[in-house]
Structure 1
Amino acid sequence: MAKRSTLFIRIVEGKNLPIKDITGSSDPYCIVKIDNEAIIRTATIWKTLSPFWGEEYTVHLPPYFRTVSFYVLDEDSLSRDDVIGKVSITKEVLSAKPQGVDGWMNLTEIDPDEEVQGEIHLQISVLGDGDIPRKLCCQVLEARDLAKKDRNGASDPFVRVRYNGKTYESSVVKKSCYPRWNESFEFELDEALTDSLLSVEVWDWDLVSRNDFLGKVLFNINKLQSALQEEGWFRLGPDKSKHSEYEGTLGSLRLHLRLRDEVVLPSSHYKPLTELLSQSGNWPDFIMLIDETTTAESRQEVANNLVKLFLGQGLVKEFLDVLFKLELDKTTEPNTLFRSNSLASKSMESFLKVAGMQYLHRLLGPIINRIFEEKKYVELDPSKVELKEAGCAGLHRQQTESDVIQQSSSLLQSYLSELLTSILQSASYCPLLICQVFHQLYLRVQERFPDPEYRKVKFIAVTSFLCLRFISPAIMSPKLFHLREKHADARTSRTLLLLAKAVQTIGNMDTLACCSKEPWMVRLQPAIQQGITQLKDFITRLVNCHESEDLELQTRMSLQCGTMEKEGFLFLHRTKDKCMPMTSPFKKYYVTLSKDTLSYSRTLHSKKSSSISLPKIRAVEKVEEKCFGSANVMQIISSEDSGQQETLYLDCKSVNELNHWLSALRKACSHNTNTMSCFHPGIYKADRWSCCHQKEKSDPGCDKTRHGVTLQEWYDPLDPDLEAQLIYQHLSSVQHAMRDKYYKLREQQGIQEADSGRDQKKSDGVSQLFDILQDLHEAHTAVEEEERSKNKNVFLELQT
């Protein structure tokens, strides 16, 4: 059994942001933090006070996280980035709205006394003479993951303990966010003040300026006298929030967040469900019921889960074929085929993203990179031409509107020609499974609309997915398809939009419709017409790819197992028992993560390389900024056969690259058994750990590892148990609607409803499905009862 929280994040846009630059604008971007740990940085949107990001992320988290925060900053090239404001949402708020939080939220001023993080380890005892308590003893042991308040990337923490008007202070631990004090403080208990509070505050000591607040914990003395002793790690909380004079004037963010807490049962519990869903004889009834009872808001997620489940079972081709038949049976007008957001359309979108992203990158990568690098001004619409943007035609003549349009037409035709050539050549490397699915679709549409006047429909059915729902959206928003790290600027974005329009027109196979709505597109008509002919030839070749069963099995198995391959240049440093050098220890290597190993070499095609076996990795964690002067360094801690521990440091160029590598490695090592529960976020230098100042190199660590924090990405391996759990959750939520729909259908078919008792033998798959959902519900209920009983026993032990 596994527990985890999944947080879906969509950062849509901002509005009314304050001016931060002398140009009268700002260059905003967002940092997303989970409990004060940065996990995502959006792209910067230049020169705007109303940025649009449209970026989506799915983050897998341990269930004990507290808060998700969105910080909006203004990027500056010459000075430190300006902080504009933030939005913070607690887990309690997200849990109270299972349908999600969606809307505009005001940015608030950032109060330093609220920017706290970390935990403190305390032991608090009530000491007495006989049965009468007399003294209150507070033992301050250590703290971890404190906020960094000083420029050196650390703090100088000390503890202030208050009770009944008396205050004690601990010693100051210099340059550490992981201090250890081991100091005790005693207070005389006042029996008349049983409701009074013991306050434990952590502060950062400063020589010149005032001390910075790092967080506090409060204890009720009345409860302490009942328990007599309380010991453990306590999360530091903020001070009382102050009223902001800027409230409502810092702008707002439009966000969509949805939190889902999952308990994934052992595989045996899901076997009946996956076996029943895998029986193709049940599919028409199942899929029809799911399609008609699923809301538009959740259809994409349901489609994604079903596609992944059937990919894992090696049945996605058959599953999609049933969807095609159901959609075609409902379609009377071929021009509307697959144009709605039906389960069939959403499932094909998910399938192409899961099975075709590598194909898409190879297909579009060169042309997208060319457009970004050239940054040419392109405009065909006369009403939008800006001559000052276009520049000069020569030394002595300003370009005219006609010149700009003619030049833009030539550039677009060049881009379109390169793209079409790439598409035509892609038949040889398009994944076999995608070819087979399009072959099925092509034949189904041909059977449904055999008349000569509908001869284009079978081609349009393929292009409606390949061009309109896959290639064209990726051209318009390359960052959202991982083709670029940043969003396009306004000029490049317009070029991409015009190219995407041309691809959509080719995909629709109708030049007249486009030119009637946007007559200025007529300049591309010859290129578009040629593109339609070429695309027809390409589709004919694509759907006639006939491969052997061995290749089909190979493709199926590769999709079933999933691949966590990741590669790229990183700066790397490896250490065993060596002392850390004074100069920068990092050297550039090409790092490759494969199924079994993490390898690295000095060049991309170098024959000489080093590697770490993934099962030997014990932890993959971040490194404190002060260690190397970079906030984007991670460490990979592994054990050699001799038992010696070794650490590999990787320096990434951004917080996004850092978290993508952390996520990929953690997922690749998710089944490792010899993992560490604690680690050192610092480095061992000058005979001590830089984080907690411990002198023993073998010290187990001062911070807890974060194995469970990962990002969902398109190349993630399939997780059959999780997909089955997500499908169960959805079917359970619509079970009553499915029953009503099912019984109505049976009545329409003239089938008499039999006694619905559980002891009666069911003769159809849908009835079996309802039984299986009930069994899974009972299994989850039993797990919840066991967890409640366990928590109750722990509470009773603490009480005694």
Structure 2
Amino acid sequence: MARPALLFCPPECPWPTRSQGHQTPSPFLPASRLPAFLKGLQTTDSKRTATVWKTLCPFWGEEYQVHLPPTFHAVAFYVMDEDALSRDDVIGKVCLTRDTLASHPKGFSGWTHLTEVDPDEEVQGEIHLRLEVRPGARACRLRCSVLEARDLAPKDRNGASDPFVRVRYKGRTQETSIVKKSCYPRWNETFEFELEEGATEVLCVETWDWDLVSRNDFLGKVVIDIQRLQVAQPEEGWFRLQPDQTKSRRHDEGNLGSLQLEVRLRDEMVLPSSCYQPLVQLLCHEVKLGMQGPGQLISLIEETTSTECRQDVATNLLKLFLGQGLAKDFLDLLFQLELSRTSETNTLFRSNSLASKSMESFLKVAGMQYLHGVLGPIINKVFEEKKYVELDPSKVEVKDVGCSGLHRPQTEAEVLEQSAQTLRAHLGALLSALSRSVRACPAVVRATFRQLFRRVRERFPGAQHENVPFIAVTSFLCLRFFSPAIMSPKLFHLRERHADARTSRTLLLLAKAVQNVGNMDTPASRAKEAWMEPLQPTVRQGVAQLKDFITKLVDIEEKDELDLQRTLSLQAPPVKEGPLFIHRTKGKGPLMSSSFKKLYFFLTTEALSFAKTPSSKCVNELNQWLSALRKVSINNTGLLGSYHPGIFRGDKWSCCHQKEKTGQGCDKTRSRVTLQEWNDPLDHDLEAQLIYRHLLGVEAMLWERHRELSRGAEAGTVPASPGEAPKDSLAQLLRVLQDLREAHSSSPAGSLPSEPNCLLELQT
């Protein structure tokens, strides 16, 4: 039975083949690579879904956002069969070109047939060539210099290749030497061919992996039209390797199954920061003024935002104001807007408003590490125990219990009681951990919850509304943050795999119990599922614990908050900590040996240090380290343009065999290629561009609103204010949009200092 897993490979990533399998990145970072990663970061991340076991019809339901380089040509989705003892098998793939994605501006959605993976089409990398037509006595001569290649596909079991280049022209073939064990070879070899007058032939440069026993593996080729080359004007550059499409392909679509995808490509041209300053300053001015603002642009943005794109707009606004240090003020303004139009306490923050969506994004960005600290140990215990838990009598499965061959049927009552005990233990441990985590909660999260608590208490005073401020806090903390993380721990990066059916049921029941505690154990919540009654004593105790926790959380004084922030800034809190392996090389020549030393690293916003023993939970995921390194290095003005992906062993680099240790790197850095996750760095210019793009889409509605305000001001129905009139603030926004539109149209892509940003949104 197949165990499908989906591997999404962005451009520049190794393409898995049937002979290669799914190559997992090495779980160590050699010491010789640390300086290169700190100065110039590149990523070879591929995104992998969880494995769905024992099925031919898997469902993943996972969503990703990936930043791609502006020069990408295609993305591929590989469906893999995971094997515990051998290499993973490739079931099939779906490849979407950039042109295909661009032809669906609203997104590509639907079922697509899997195709067989042909090794001759699984190529990657680039080759550096210098081409020149030189005049001769009798005829011109074509000179082709094969300099180097980078990021070639690894075809051998050692994770590399033995590449050589074959140059063909008019039946003549010449070959370079073979570079052993390298995906970044350097040849620096030149070949010459005699050209006939009026020649219309093409020059074919093929890259191959040499094999001693089996046939050579194709690595890609470049075909060059000779006619476009001019005499005595050499051309030099990097050429992308292309697959061999001359062979007839097998048409086996449908035989390997189909994959349902929802993919949308957002190709954004990000202007220099100075272009977005008027827009950012205008929005920040509105947030600082709050409800006393003249135009309330934030409220207008909410009115003109449809339900389908409200989450994206909320996330972009939240990240923009978070970068400006105004996240708390922005959320406070949204709280006031929501409270001003809410009269029933039971509907407060229960809709998908801009306030609710922004708060969800805020907790995922600012509170994810806090969530991991509180919830991580409980989730790990549930996964490790794998106990059968069920409270619904209609779903109970009676099991056999006993030992030494003396089995007896377990009664339904015993199953229910044992399940209740297990859930009470998990719920009690979670609430206890939450009660002890007041100081561990990030300062900005505490300040936001304190402001929310105060606003709700001001809006709904009186003893009859005593629990309303607490429910307002728990509606976000429990119902929209902790409960979803309990039900889907992989989506919150708490586990690498989705839960099996038994564990998933336990997590669902635990999430329901947390929701009941978050609802303050109201009669309405108890009436929904009466079979949850065995948990009521723990739920009632949890309500008291939760109220005490929230009281302590919101009672921290402003002075203490400022002192805490100052202390945190002095301590430079760690961005990432955990074990890494240092590569050690001993001796030279044939006596050279290698070893790895395990050390525990601490990456902060100021330094990278290490110790011999751990001081916290060990984490060794290389992709998370790369994301943390990107976070602290994104604003480094000294980013290198290239780096060595290998290690300097003996007297040469293992990647390109270059013997100069401080020489130029053989692979280019790609600092902007990131997986769009909660722990990736904020890109303020990109967020401003996405907000501008959204406002541009609702510009007609903004103009209509401006005309209404203008007519109201003339008729006297809009009250005059001592400062700007509402229409003046909106008029400023419309002028800013016009200026940005002109900046985009007058700035060619090549003249912009910032690269185009390709954001790929996909759902499987």
CA distance in 2, matches of 1:554, 1:751: 52
Q: Give the Å deviation of 1:143.
A: 2.0
- 1:216 corresponds in structure 2 to 221
Q: Give the Å deviation of 1:492.
A: 1.6
**Can you list the C-alpha shifts for 1:582-621, whole angstroms capped at 9, x where unaligned?**
5442111111101121111110259xxxxxxxxxxxxxxx
Q: Does 2:107 match 1:143?
A: no
Structure 2 stretches of 5 or more lacking a match?
Answer: 15-43, 719-723, 756-764
CA distance in 1, matches of 2:67, 2:347: 38
CA distance in 1, matches of 2:396, 2:749: 67
Q: Give the Å deviation of 1:85.
A: 1.6
- 2:19 corresponds in structure 1 to none
Q: Does 2:576 match 1:566?
A: yes
- 1:641 corresponds in structure 2 to none
Structure 1 stretches of 5 or more lacking a match?
Answer: 1-23, 607-650, 755-759, 792-800
The 8 Å contact of residues 585 and 595 in structure 2, kept in 1 or not, is answered as no
CA distance in 1, matches of 2:322, 2:99: 35
CA distance in 2, matches of 1:372, 1:364: 13
Q: Give the Å deviation of 1:509.
A: 3.3
**Can you list the C-alpha shifts for 1:289-328, whole angstroms capped at 9, x where unaligned?**
1112223232222212222232333333232222122222
CA distance in 2, matches of 1:89, 1:320: 39
The 8 Å contact of residues 311 and 560 in structure 1, kept in 2 or not, is answered as no
- 2:238 corresponds in structure 1 to 233
Q: Any residues of structure 2 matched to 1:251-650 within 5 Å, and which?
A: 251-279=257-285, 280=289, 281-282=292-293, 285-388=296-399, 391-392=401-402, 395-450=406-461, 454-510=465-521, 512-548=523-559, 551-552=561-562, 555=565, 565-573=575-583, 582-605=592-615
Query: Which SS does the other structure have where 2:328 is aligned?
Result: helix
The 8 Å contact of residues 108 and 244 in structure 1, kept in 2 or not, is answered as no
Q: Does 2:38 match 1:28?
A: no
- Judged with a 3 Å threshold, the aligned counterparts in structure 2 of structure 1 residues 48 and 777 are, in CA distance, closer, same or farther, namely same
Q: Which has the higher contact order (CA 8 A, sep 6+)?
A: 2
Partner amino acid, structure 2, of 1:591: F
The 8 Å contact of residues 577 and 619 in structure 2, kept in 1 or not, is answered as no
Q: Does 2:181 match 1:179?
A: no
- 1:632 corresponds in structure 2 to none
- 1:707 corresponds in structure 2 to 671
- 2:696 corresponds in structure 1 to 732
**Can you list the C-alpha shifts for 1:314-358, whole angstroms capped at 9, x where unaligned?**
333232222122222333433222112110110111122222223
- 1:616 corresponds in structure 2 to none
Q: Any residues of structure 2 matched to 1:635-714 within 5 Å, and which?
A: 657-714=621-678
Q: Which moved more, 1:61-70 or 1:197-206?
A: 61-70
Query: Which SS does the other structure have where 1:420 is aligned?
Result: helix
**Can you list the C-alpha shifts for 1:610-638, whole angstroms capped at 9, x where unaligned?**
xxxxxxxxxxxxxxxxxxxxxxxxxxxxx
Query: Which SS does the other structure have where 1:53 is aligned?
Result: coil
Query: Which SS does the other structure have where 1:322 is aligned?
Result: helix
Q: Give the Å deviation of 1:48.
A: 2.9
Query: Which SS does the other structure have where 1:426 is aligned?
Result: coil
Query: Which SS does the other structure have where 1:596 is aligned?
Result: coil
Q: Give the Å deviation of 1:775.
A: 2.2
- 1:118 corresponds in structure 2 to 125
CA distance in 2, matches of 1:547, 1:788: 44
Q: Any residues of structure 2 matched to 1:7-46 within 5 Å, and which?
A: 24-37=1-14, 38-39=44-45, 40-46=47-53
CA distance in 1, matches of 2:565, 2:101: 40
Question: What CA RMSD, in Å, does the superposition of the two structures yield over aligned residues?
Answer: 3.6
Query: Which SS does the other structure have where 2:148 is aligned?
Result: strand
CA distance in 2, matches of 1:708, 1:448: 45
Q: Which moved more, 1:184-193 or 1:489-498?
A: 184-193
CA distance in 2, matches of 1:789, 1:407: 64
Partner amino acid, structure 1, of 2:626: L
- Judged with a 3 Å threshold, the aligned counterparts in structure 2 of structure 1 residues 662 and 514 are, in CA distance, closer, same or farther, namely same
Q: Which moved more, 1:737-746 or 1:508-517?
A: 508-517
- 1:610 corresponds in structure 2 to none
Q: Does 2:99 match 1:92?
A: yes
Query: Which SS does the other structure have where 2:456 is aligned?
Result: helix
1:765 to 729, 733, 738: 729
- 1:66 corresponds in structure 2 to 73
Partner amino acid, structure 2, of 1:184: T
CA distance in 2, matches of 1:326, 1:320: 10
- 1:50 corresponds in structure 2 to 57
The 8 Å contact of residues 163 and 180 in structure 2, kept in 1 or not, is answered as yes
- Judged with a 3 Å threshold, the aligned counterparts in structure 2 of structure 1 residues 260 and 790 are, in CA distance, closer, same or farther, namely closer
CA distance in 1, matches of 2:103, 2:9: 21
The alignment of Structure 1 onto Structure 2 pairs a total of residues equal to 712
- 2:112 corresponds in structure 1 to 105
CA distance in 2, matches of 1:252, 1:652: 36
- 1:198 corresponds in structure 2 to 203
CA distance in 1, matches of 2:744, 2:495: 42
Q: Give the Å deviation of 1:283.
A: 7.4
Percent identity, aligned pairs only, is 59
- Judged with a 3 Å threshold, the aligned counterparts in structure 2 of structure 1 residues 751 and 434 are, in CA distance, closer, same or farther, namely farther
**Can you list the C-alpha shifts for 1:243-282, whole angstroms capped at 9, x where unaligned?**
3454223233333434334444444333332222122243
Q: Give the Å deviation of 1:511.
A: 5.1
- Judged with a 3 Å threshold, the aligned counterparts in structure 2 of structure 1 residues 784 and 534 are, in CA distance, closer, same or farther, namely same
Q: Give the Å deviation of 1:551.
A: 2.7
Q: Give the Å deviation of 1:436.
A: 3.3
CA distance in 2, matches of 1:528, 1:50: 39
